[in-house]
Structure formats: structure tokens, C-alpha cells
Structure 1
């Protein structure tokens, strides 16, 4: 039996400026009980593929069958029944899948209750899953009191509690530390084994292959490569003869825009027709990969010179925060120097996001002192805190809060106007983060990784004195994660105080100073 059969699938998104093709003839089959990990760069169509497989998004062309259901001929009720009883979906935006009015245990038990399981049995099964991810102590709390990593793991439990036939997971470990990520992969694999379910995991994390029977890569809306975790990669040729060459292979061999194909001994030989382009292409590729990019000499943020004579943009002393009856931060200190990249690291639930929100004036501490731009935050009301952020500080949370009706470039211009700053460097920020080709595209059709980079670009377009970012590389492929790190390093070198919470070793390695929460 085949769990997924998607053949020659196209998916177009309509925008005011025309159509955007997210899938361009993709073909993918997944056998019952098979575990497949899907890799691919940001914007390649991975999340759109999952939306098509759940019946949430109808393909523009092609045939799709999931668990024996022909989605092309299924009505809304049949698609809803498929999602509710036979699929388990771990959404990229995990926070939106948890109901705030229910406890953690009841959130996990909800899908079981929908399928007809009695309350006591459903809650018992929920407790068992929570225990397997080390979340048993959170069972009686509500989602609003969880960290991002904790809510992500709860969402995984909720998605698989009812024993689905097919588990679809979109970046299930993007905001987790390595130990928590491994526990999530093991739980997904164990659930698939227990029920005989097929598993499709979309991830940038190379370690996701540890639970895979097969790994595939999507590029430009088509399947391009596949391999077994312990085997060599092979290119995929679709029904119409399309084959996609990997970027490193193209640049290394000189195959850039045209190739000559000839029959060889037992194969096809491709010869690059434009070898002269290799040096320039290699130089461009190495320039994109630099972690410590050149400083922008004109990059002094607003009010940098007036912030503090000791070179500190912000300082936190003996900060304590209690949320929902528990102490999230306990007596923490942090100095944030101008012109440095400061990284806050620690296990999921250690208080990283809370610390950043205290620094940005979005959470009031229960005790301790917080000074930002030379101002004691205790003396500011809500309007005063907003004015301080507008003048000196940019904040990028785990969810990119962009204006959906505006294009990427318009979001940057709007942010600069709110700060009464010039946005003449917006195109430079977009180019720095690999978004130049998307500048006029509405943010509503961007991938999760593209949205995240657009939020980073928006944060820096007005050259803030202090930039606070929560997990800014969690949805990025390797090349774009390097772009983000390079942009943060360049901003710090230009004088901005950059503070980042992260699990990403790439960011930790690039930091000037590190604070580890336990």
C-alpha cells in the first residue's frame, strides 16, 4: 500500500503581481510504513508539499492520493475526516495548534477525544507521551506558560497521540536543543513503528536522517535528489526527463547555464558549455559563505554615541521572572556591549526567550534592574517602553510579525517610517540576506525561512542601536543560516549591540560573548 502518491504536482499562489509557482511538477511516492526526510533550501516548496498532502491546499495541476483518498475528488468533509482521523500533522507554527484554554495534558488528549476515545484513557495516553519527552511536569500547565521549545514538543505529542496512519512533520525540531531534538525524532520514529505509520519529516537538520529510510531533496518545486542515510546521493529524473544538478556540483564543474549531453558508457555525460564562468561563480559562492562579513562604515545606529559612556547598550542585574507560578529566570545578570554579538544559549525551557523579552521591555521582571540605552525600565510605562523601542531597539521574535498585505520591500520601508528613519539601505539588507529577487513579493506567499530573513532585514533597515533576535536561524537551510550570521556579524561590527537566543552552533561560534542558561 502507498501512503502518499503525488504525481506531476503543480501549485501556484496568486499575488497582485502575478502567480508564484511553489511546486513545479513534483512527483513523490511514500510507501506505507516508510520514513522519508525531505530537505531543500528555503522557498523550494517543502511546506507547500505538506499543505497539499493534508488537503489544506488544492494543487493547481497533478494527482494526489493520501492514505488511499484521492484529494482531487474529495470534498471538504472527506478532507477534514482524513486530517482528523488518519493524519498527524506537526505544524511549523506549533503555537497556533495548541488551545490556550486547555491544559497541556488536555491539548495532547484532544485528538484522541475527537476520535472517540474515553476521557480517562485519552488523558492516560497523553500523560505517557508527555513523559517520553520529559514534559510530565508540565501536564497541568497551559500553553501560555510554556517556552517555545516546550510548546513545540507538546505539539508533537498532540499530533501523534491518536496513532495516525501518516505523520507529517514540518521542522519539528527547529527551536530545540540537540538532546530535545533527538528525543523528538525518536518519539516520531517509535510512533511510526508502533502503528505502522508512514513518516514524512521536512527539515533543514541533517540529523533528521537518523530516523529515515530515505532522504530526498526538493529544489525549485521538484524532487532533485534522493539517497539512503548510509548511501550515496543520486539525481532524480522525472517522468518528463527533468533533472536538477546540485549547486556545488554545477559550480565546481563549470556547468552554469548550458550543458552538452552525450551518451557515455552505460550513462549520460554532461559537459559544461560555459567554463569561463567558473572563477566568478566560485568567488560569488565563497563571498556568500563568509560568516564574518565586512563592516559597513556608515552603519552607526541612531543614538549610539549617547547610550552609555561605559560602552554598554543594556545591562540586566539580578533579574527574576516568575510565570504561572514558576520561576523562569532566577537572579540573572547580562551586560550587552555596543558593537558585539552576544549569544544566549541553553536547553529548551531555560528562559532564553523570557530574558530577551525582559531586555526589550516586553516582560516586566519580578525583581532586579534592567537598563536599556541608559534608561531604567522600571520608570517607564507601556507608552514609554514603546517609545524606547522605537528609538533604539529592534526585536525579532520566533514568529516573524510581518504585514501580510505588503511586499517584502514595503515591510522594510514601513518599519523605517515608524521609526522616522531613512530606508535607503533596504535593498542592501535584502541582498545581504539573499532576498533581492523577492523584494516585490507579498510576504504572505513566502516560505517560513524567507519570512524569517525578511524579519531580520526589517530589524536592521533602520540601523537600530540594539537588536534582539530569538532563534533567527531556526528555519534556515545551511547557506541562508550563514547569510543571517554574516548579517548579524556585520551589524555588530558597525556598532550595533546584537543579542541572540539560539541553539545553532554556527551562531554560537560567531559570538563575541556567550551567556549559558541552565
Structure 2
């Protein structure tokens, strides 16, 4: 049984006399322990989907289950308990994650205080989490005394305080520079393994999405293509921006070839700059996997995942 089930989920908002449809028949599942990234532009409906799965909003139509729990059936105390104990939230803005007047340690203990844990339990758990995110020497500092990356690490510890099985991350690296963002993503993957987390992350950054097991697109409220690359014979891009070509392609191209790069609506095209360019391109296309339509054969960055 899938850990998350979305069946024909629709979400519409009424503004004055107008109805705006944010999600249009969303239909997908996630397995326990899986990390799925949803990419799309601003206004695509990404945050609306997270709000529904986090119990912060209700769908207009459709079915929504998390860990076999029907979210539409939750009300009152049961709904509050779901938000507090079964799901963790990691937001882009640290102001939504942390209270500026509390230390890192007391920020992490707050969700456990609300859950009714004993002081010795919550402080022990908070110290464990802050050590796990590499901030054991900064537990007494307030957010203003921490860097952006450190603040997001504290926020991650807050999100995991009550041992949720599901982590919802909304543009978690949007306010960080590239180097720090990569560090946070690596840490998130390590914690996923350590605490057996299921992660749904939304982002507009394909490079960040590449850390996930599966990548889906969302545009105008509708899920699109699956960008996941499971095969090592697909092109990829490393952290330095270098294109890693499949062995068959590298053997065909000698080091004297120059490649022209063309940006097209369906993806990125690498075209050899030779007199026989057309013949070369045809040969390259024969070497690449043919189990997906042409628009699915674009370049996409992939990274190794931490293993338990």
C-alpha cells in the first residue's frame, strides 16, 4: 500500500466572484521512505499541494491519504495531532521555521512542549537533533546569530522534533547560496536514511530536485512528465556544470570534436560542430535510450544517494 495517495485531487479558491483552480485532478502515489521532488514555476500549485498534504487546507474534490489515514476525515483534535506529530514542515523563509527570541535549543523543544513531552525527553531529543545537523556547539544561539545555512539546519531539527514520518519541504534552499544549498540537501538525504523519512519537496531548481529519487513536473495545476533518470546511460551534469556523456557517446566522439549547445523548448541539444554534423547527430540518437519520447531525453543532473 502506498504511503501517500492522491486521487483526482482538485483545489479551487474563490476570490471575489472569480474561481481560481490551483490543482487540476492531481493523481500520484509515494512509497514509504521515498523522496519525491515536484518542480514548476511560481503559481503552478506546488505550495497548494503541500498545504493539502500537511493538513493546512482541504481539497475541493478528490481523495487524499497519508499512511492509510484519510485526511478529509480528520477534524478538530485529530487534525491538530496530525499536523503536530505525523508531519514536519520545512519552509524557505526562516521566519516561518524559527522564533527569533528563542535559542536554537528552545526552538527545537517547542513542538515537543506542545505535544506534551516531559522536559527531560524534549531536551534530550533536541540535543540529539542539533548534533545530527552539526550544530551541537550553537545550541544557545538565537537565529540572528546564525548564518542562513545554520538557520535552515535548526529549522530541519525543528521539523523532525516530534518524529514525523513525512517531511514537507517548500523551496527549502531558495534563500541559500549554491554551496550551502548543496550541503543542506546532502544533510537532508542523510537524515532521511537515519530517521526513515518520506520527503515531498517542491522547488523551481532542477539541480536541487536532482537529489530526489523521483522528479515530477507541475504546471498550471496539473502534473506533467516524470523527469527521473534511472539509467546510467543517460547524460548528466556534475556540480561544476560539466556534461557527463554515456560511454557509447564518448567512444564515438574524439576529443577534437567541438559541441554546439542549443536551447530548445523540448530541452537542451548538444550538436557536434563538424562537416558531418547531421550524420553524427543521427548516430548519437541511435545510441541513446529509446524508451522515452524525444522531449523526455533532455539533460538532467543526478547524484548518488546515501545508503543505509
Q: Partners in 1 of 2:216 and 2:27 — Cα distance?
A: 11
- State whether residues 212 and 229 of structure 1, in contact with CA within 8 Å, keep that contact through their aligned partners in structure 2: no
- State whether residues 34 and 198 of structure 1, in contact with CA within 8 Å, keep that contact through their aligned partners in structure 2: yes
- State whether residues 108 and 161 of structure 2, in contact with CA within 8 Å, keep that contact through their aligned partners in structure 1: yes
SS in 1 for 2:164: coil
Q: Residue 21 of structure 1 aligns with which residue?
A: 21
Q: Partners in 1 of 2:189 and 2:101 — Cα distance?
A: 30
- State whether residues 85 and 164 of structure 1, in contact with CA within 8 Å, keep that contact through their aligned partners in structure 2: yes
- State whether residues 210 and 229 of structure 1, in contact with CA within 8 Å, keep that contact through their aligned partners in structure 2: no
Superposed CA deviations along residues 246-305 of structure 1, whole A, max 9, x for unmatched, are x9129x9xxxxxxxxxxxxxx9999xxxxxxxxxxxxxxxxxxxxxxxxxxxxxxxxxxx
Q: Residue 82 of structure 1 aligns with which residue?
A: 82
SS in 2 for 1:2: coil
Q: Partners in 2 of 1:11 and 1:18 — Cα distance?
A: 14
Q: Partners in 2 of 1:129 and 1:179 — Cα distance?
A: 22
Superposed CA deviations along residues 188-229 of structure 1, whole A, max 9, x for unmatched, are 222322232211111223233453221111111111011334
Larger radius of gyration: 1
- Number of corresponding residues: 244
Structure 2, unpaired ranges of 5+? 236-263, 270-290, 295-308
- TM-score (norm. length: structure 1): 0.43
- TM-score (norm. length: structure 2): 0.70
- Structure number with greater CO (CA < 8 Å, separation at least 6) is 2
1:249 aligns with 2:266: yes
SS in 1 for 2:155: helix
Large movers: runs of 4+ above 6 Å: 267-270
Q: Partners in 2 of 1:186 and 1:121 — Cα distance?
A: 28
How far does residue 133 in structure 1 lie from its aligned partner after superposition? 3.6
- State whether residues 54 and 79 of structure 1, in contact with CA within 8 Å, keep that contact through their aligned partners in structure 2: no
Q: Residue 64 of structure 1 aligns with which residue?
A: 64
Structure 1, unpaired ranges of 5+? 234-246, 253-266, 271-518
How far does residue 145 in structure 1 lie from its aligned partner after superposition? 4.3
Matches within 5 A, 1:364-403: none
Superposed CA deviations along residues 310-355 of structure 1, whole A, max 9, x for unmatched, are xxxxxxxxxxxxxxxxxxxxxxxxxxxxxxxxxxxxxxxxxxxxxx
How far does residue 6 in structure 1 lie from its aligned partner after superposition? 0.9
Supply the RMSD in Å over aligned alpha carbons: 3.0
- State whether residues 168 and 200 of structure 2, in contact with CA within 8 Å, keep that contact through their aligned partners in structure 1: yes
How far does residue 17 in structure 1 lie from its aligned partner after superposition? 5.1
Superposed CA deviations along residues 25-50 of structure 1, whole A, max 9, x for unmatched, are 11121111111111111111111100
